[in-house]
């Protein structure tokens, strides 16, 4: 159950934690290219004529383009798709308890590291999601 919830919850959480910017934009609130998701506009009421400083307080903390957000969400399933055979072989060699335990441990530690890597660099977040997907399929 833990593995299923971590697989699906990030897809929901990324809406609240990512600020959509254009590929050429910097992500500043004064930039016209900043796009706040519809659900957050209603919740935070950002459609009013607020100052740029007030809008910055309400925007999610991590600037990403829609392509980057899609790549981060896809990274999990890139690894998830091909690691099943490797997981079966590892279970034959080392036993299912050790392989399952390693998969759950990497998944749990990786999910704690998501906020840190998301603020650090997009590529690091992509690699972390790829690693989580790889180890999650090994443990299933």
3-state SS assignment for residue 28? coil
Number of domains in the chain: 1
In angstroms, the first-to-last Cα distance of the chain is: 11
What pLDDT digit, counting tens, does each position of 13-56 carry? 777 777 777 765 454 444 445 555 555 555 555 455 555 555 55
Mean pLDDT of the chain: 76
E strand intervals along 27-110: 62-64
What backbone phi and psi angles, to 5 degrees, belong to 68?
-65, -45
59-87 average pLDDT score: 83
According to the model, what pLDDT value does residue 85 have? 84
Phi first, then psi, for residue 71 (nearest 5°) are: -65, -40
Rounded distance between C-alpha atoms, residue 133 and residue 107, angstroms: 8
Task: With a cut of 60, say whether residue 57 has pLDDT above it.
Answer: no
For residue 18, CA distances in Å to 56, 57, 83, 103 come to 13, 14, 28, 27
Q: Which domain holds residue 57?
A: 2-138
Tokens 């590291």, located at residue: 113
3-state helix, strand, coil in the chain (%, to 5): 70, 5, 25
For the chain, counts of helices (H) and of strands (E): 7, 2
Please give the Cα distance from 13 to 76 (Å, whole number).
15
Q: DSSP assignment, residue 18?
A: E
């Amino acid at each position: 159950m833990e593995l299923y919830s971590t697989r699906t919850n990030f897809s929901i959480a990324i809406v609240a934690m990512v600020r959509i910017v254009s590929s050429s934009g910097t992500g500043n609130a004064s930039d016209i290219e900043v796009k706040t998701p519809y659900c957050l506009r209603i919740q935070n009421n950002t459609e009013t004529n607020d100052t740029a400083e007030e809008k910055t307080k309400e925007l999610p903390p991590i600037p990403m383009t829609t392509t980057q957000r899609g790549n981060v969400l896809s990274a999990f399933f890139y690894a998830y798709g091909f690691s099943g055979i490797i997981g079966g072989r590892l279970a034959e060699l080392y036993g299912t308890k050790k392989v399952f335990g390693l998969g759950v441990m990497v998944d749990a530690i990786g999910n704690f590291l998501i906020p840190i890597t998301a603020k650090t660099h997009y590529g690091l977040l992509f690699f972390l999601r790829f690693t989580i997907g790889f180890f999650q399929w090994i443990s299933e």
